[in-house]
Structures are given as C-alpha cells and as structure tokens.
Amino acid sequence: SCKRRLRHSNFERGQVCVSEMRAVDLGQLSKVLVEHHSVGYGAGWYLEQIIIHESGKTDGQHAFPCQQWLDSGVGDAQTERMLKLLGKIRNGMLTGKIYGTWNVFVTTSDVSSSSVNPKMSLTVCGEKGTSASVIFPKGSLKKKEIYETSVELNKKFNIIFKVRLEIEEAGEGETWHCREVKLQHRESENVLEFPFCHNFADEEGGRVVELPVLTVGSPFPTVKSYVLYITTGALPGSGTDAEVYVMLQGLLGDTGRRKLIRKGDDNFTKGKVDVFQVEAVDLGTLQRMVVEKGKGSAWFLEKIIVKDSAASGTETLFMAQTWIKDRRDGKRTASVTLNVTEGRWRIYFTKHQEETKADFEKLSENISKLVMIFYGRNGKSNLVSMENKLEHQAKNQITYD
C-alpha cells in the first residue's frame, strides 16, 4: 500500500485509535510496517498491537502484535517496526465438543522452489501438553493447490490452543510456501483459520512455525523468540558431532521437538557457547527442558541459558553438567531432562542518550557501592551488594553477574 500517514491527533495511553485507508486489494495480509519520526516532546510510543479488517465487514480481523517501544531513548532505540501477522481473530469461543474428527485444508502458494515438496507435519495442541499430529507425505503438497486430510482429537482435548506446522524431511535447498491451514469439525462445523504465510526451509527459523487461536474478548497469546545459550563442557572430548534436539516446556505448553541447525563445523565443541533461536507461542513460565543427542560421539553438556528476547534481562538457567552418550541398545537416541535451576541473574546498567560519556563513567565507579533487593511473586531476596560482582563492560553499557 506504500507508506501512509495516519492523521490522528494523538495516540494516548490506553486508547484504541481507529484509522481508515483505501487501497487496491492486497490479498492475504502478512506484515505491517509502522514508524514515527520522533518529533516533539514525548514522541516515544509504546505500541501494543494493530488490528486490521476490511471496512464494512464484521469478520476477517487480523492481528499484528508489537508490545514494544518505538522510542529513540528506550530499549533498542528503534522508531520503526515490521510487525508479522499473528493470526485471524474469531468472533467467539468454539462451541460444542472439541474432540472428534477435524478436516484439515492446507492451501499452498506458487513460490515453492521445486515441484517435489518436503514431508511436513501439522500438530494440534491443547492444554498441558495434549496434542495430535497428522503427516503430509513428501510430494503431496503441490503448488497452488488445496490439500485435504483429517486429524482425530481424543476426549482429553477441552480447547485448541495453537497449531504447529513443521518440516519432517527436506532436500538441500528445498523450500515450500504455506499460505493457510484451515480446520473444520465434521459434526459442529466449527472452523479455525491459521494464515501461516511462511516459506519453509531446512534452516534455522524456517523449519517450524506456531500460530495461536485468537478470540475476540480474550487476551491474545503471542509468538515469542527464545534464545538458547548452550555451553559445552571444557573436559577433554566434551564436544560432539551428533545432531542435537531440544524441547522447552512451560506452564502453557511446549515447543515440540526442535532440531538445532548447525552453523558450520564448530558447533558443540569443547568449552564453546553456541547460540540458537526457537520461536513458539508463549510457553508461560519455563519449567523444564528435554535435550536429545542423535547418534555420534558423546557430549558433555555444561548448561543452557534461555533468554526471552521480548523481556530484556529475563533469563532461565538449566544446569546439566552431565555426559549424554549413545544408548547401548542403539534403538533410541540419548536424552536428558533438565529442570529450571535457581541460578545467577545478569543486571544491565545502560547509558541514557542525554548522559555524557564522562557522567556515565563517573556513575559506573559508584555502581559497586549499590545495594539492591529483588522482589518476585514468592517474596523478596536478601540484600544484594554489587561489590565484588563479576563485571562486563561494553560501549554505553555495564553488566554485572
């Protein structure tokens, strides 16, 4: 649609501002670019979300979450955001029974790299780890076609919380673009629509996509990016050449089994910290993690730190300090389940944009004299002194462990 200026007097706290624009039919919406020019007093803006629907229609609302500041003096100092489509909003809750047979309709586009598309799977997720999956055989999802199948949900399903679409097998360089997945209950004829608009490939960020069920009047679950810092031990022979898989589990569900895509030949080597990213619908408070090693050399896993990139400074520690070795029977891969460890936190002190370098350096000299108390849901900590804490210095920022 090109950039359009929204002629609205003010975007005030807590308000829902409505604007209208005319454009030729854009087809399925997938992204929204939003920005401001940071002009005037208090130009910073915290944007919760943008909801778009075609004028005159009561259905077909699409949600684009932001939940970030557009402010040159806060966070990453960005005043421009590209918002990705979260999903299509239902006008009401699902009625009738959830269990039973659901028809599945997968709509593909014409931008796949080859006519032989990868083997895919769709997982329907309910509460507390309840799930059911269906496999799409290799070559079945043709370009610009609608593939039909079905999935059976058992009586444990009280709600459908999200769906997960992922590559099971793919050739090198092979990609496949999914436009939409639609589920329809055979008896009640309830319909759920998930506009994936995603190009799937056997690479990080391309293998798996999750989308939540969105309902008017209920909070929208968001898709979060979890950054994993995986530390291999420093003992001789600690590294591995095997494939590694993880599954994060939280109060609201799990990520499913995720393959960590290697970047070169130096992943999971002795004493190294490898960084990976896992996207999933909000898991809530993290509780445990399953780490799995494919066939190959034994691996000494030291620890994994998971950082929620949407909540700066929120880190969850999973201590391992254990060897993961191939099973003697050779029938199953080796795995270990790690529970959340009460560990260290990292505290960030960042220079304000109006603060001079000299002022910041003077302040940093006094940080070690600070005494802090941390408050949480379960109470408060003892006094924590910054004195003798491990310090890391970078440009315009000092961190303490």
- Per the CB < 8 A criterion, the answer to whether 239 and 302 are in contact is no
Q: How far apart are CA 265 and CA 263, in angstroms?
A: 7
287: left (phi over 0), alpha (psi -120 to 50) or beta: alpha
Q: How far apart are CA 135 and CA 177, in angstroms?
A: 17
32: how many CB neighbours lie within 10 A of its CB? 16
- Per the CB < 8 A criterion, the answer to whether 168 and 257 are in contact is no
Query: Tokens 């530390």 appear where?
Result: 231
Q: How far apart are CA 283 and CA 67, in angstroms?
A: 17
DSSP state letter for 141: S
Question: In this predicted structure, what is the pLDDT of residue 265?
Answer: 76
Question: In this predicted structure, what is the pLDDT of residue 208?
Answer: 93
Q: Retrieve residue 74's tokens.
A: 């806060």
The domain defined by 100-215 carries CATH number 2.60.40.650? no
Domain boundaries defined on the chain = 1-85, 100-215, 223-339, 347-400
**Cα dist. 142→30, 110, 157, 377 in Å?**
21, 9, 31, 51
CATH code of domain 1-85: 2.60.60.20
Q: How far apart are CA 69 and CA 40, in angstroms?
A: 16
In degrees, to the nearest 5, what angle opens at C-alpha 4 toward C-alphas 49 and 10?
A: 55
383: how many CB neighbours lie within 10 A of its CB? 8
Question: In this predicted structure, what is the pLDDT of residue 62?
Answer: 92
Question: In this predicted structure, what is the pLDDT of residue 393?
Answer: 64
The CA dihedral of 75, 76, 81, 83, to the nearest 10 degrees, is -70
Q: How far apart are CA 47 and CA 81, in angstroms?
A: 10
The fourth-level CATH superfamily of domain 223-339 is PLAT/LH2 domain (2.60.60.20)
Question: In this predicted structure, what is the pLDDT of residue 343?
Answer: 58
| Fold equal for 1-85 and 223-339 | yes
**What is the residue type of 378?**
N
248-270 pLDDT per residue, tens: 999 999 999 999 988 877 889 99
Question: In this predicted structure, what is the pLDDT of residue 392?
Answer: 65
Q: How far apart are CA 334 and CA 330, in angstroms?
A: 9
Collapsing DSSP to helix, strand or coil, 213 comes out as coil
Q: How far apart are CA 237 and CA 357, in angstroms?
A: 45
In degrees, to the nearest 5, what angle opens at C-alpha 49 toward C-alphas 13 and 17?
A: 50
Question: In this predicted structure, what is the pLDDT of residue 270?
Answer: 93
- Per the CB < 8 A criterion, the answer to whether 223 and 279 are in contact is yes
Q: Parallel, antiparallel, or unpaired for β 146-153 and 191-194?
A: unpaired
For residue 177, which phi and psi values (nearest 5 degrees)?
-110, 120
Residue spans of the chain under pLDDT 70: 8-9, 40-42, 58, 112-116, 170-173, 202, 204-205, 310-313, 330-331, 343-345, 351, 353, 364, 388-396, 401
The CA dihedral of 68, 285, 85, 118, to the nearest 10 degrees, is 140
134: how many CB neighbours lie within 10 A of its CB? 16
Q: How far apart are CA 258 and CA 97, in angstroms?
A: 31
With 0.85 as the threshold, say if the pTM is over it.
no
Neighbouring-strand partners of residue 284: none
Q: How far apart are CA 181 and CA 195, in angstroms?
A: 6
